[in-house]
A and B are shown apart, each in its own frame.
Chain A
């Protein structure tokens, strides 16, 4: 079985979730401190 689609899907999930969380936290902080 070719493992690369699984590897790429796992990285997309982890990095996508981390990026979304970082961006949401950054925007909430900027909005609150304005």
Chain B
């Protein structure tokens, strides 16, 4: 399996081959994401019962959890792309890392804002400087730092290695966010959704699958759009450089 996966990744690193796949994939991911998200939001707002303890505010779960997953998953993707860039020197991996940064930051911010809105009726406060909330806020700032660094690197004609190293170093935050609710006393609830079991009733949980899949496909479509825009700009710049040559 690993033998075939690496050559496939190398083949995809060819921009022409990547674009041949990305062009049809973008609208497919986009529309599939929108449809799943619409079903998930409709079901989450109208088809599930209120929680016995939290009441209707539990419905924020269906958008808060996918936002948290994409904020953290986005950084994982950014770090994997950075490793691929440093190891194999594929420029497309660098383009992917930079394309992931903005949507990752936006979803980290959405996670913070929706969590804060959820906190007010549930905990009686908009914000608490506890482990989970503070580490997620740090992730948002780390995204902002990456975007500033990547822009400065591009403007100074850098080779992309410094943003890539920063992308890898930032992964240290991911286990801290994940286990913050276990390591420290916090208002935030402990881990309630796992891969195999969940402490949330199935009658409340099921729309989460739709919104998780919907937001994830939408995120993938956004990353593909941003990568295509960058590749088109790089192609136009290369053409201008060729024309400017005497």
A→B interface (CB under 8 Å) = 1, 3-4, 6-7, 9-11, 13-15, 17-18, 21-22, 25-26, 28-29, 31-33
Contacts and interface: CB of A to CB of B under 8 A. Distances in A.
B210 interface: no
Contacts, number: 85
Given A1-B121, A13-B114, A25 B229 contact: yes
Contact of A13 (B113, B233, B236): B113
B41 A11 contact: yes
Contacts of B218: 18, 22
Interface in B91-122: 102-103, 106-107, 109-110, 113-114, 117-118, 120-121
Contacts of B107: 17
Determine chain B's interface SS by DSSP, over half rule: helix
Given A3-B56, A32-B229, A33-B228, A17 B109 contact: yes
A10 B154 CA distance: 36
B117 A13 contact: yes
A14 B110 contact: yes
A10 B229 contact: no
Given A25-B222, A26-B225, A9 B57 contact: no
B95 to A, nearest CB: 12
27 contacts: A3-B54, A3-B57, A3-B121, A6-B118, A7-B57, A10-B64, A11-B41, A11-B45, A13-B114, A14-B64, A14-B110, A15-B37, A17-B109, A21-B222, A22-B30, A22-B222, A25-B225, A26-B225, A28-B226, A28-B229, A29-B26, A29-B225, A29-B229, A32-B229, A32-B233, A32-B236, A33-B232
A24 B136 CA distance: 25
Interface residues of B, number: 38
Interface string B194-218: 0000000000000000000001001
Determine chain A's interface SS by DSSP, over half rule: helix
Contacts of B215: 18
A10 B225 contact: no
Contacts of A18: 37, 106, 110, 215, 218
Given A7-B57, A17-B110, 17 more contacts: A3-B54, A3-B55, A3-B57, A6-B118, A10-B64, A11-B41, A13-B110, A13-B117, A14-B63, A15-B37, A22-B225, A25-B226, A28-B225, A28-B226, A29-B232, A31-B229, A32-B232
A31 B230 CA distance: 11
Interface in B16-63: 26, 30, 37, 41, 45, 54-57, 59-60, 63
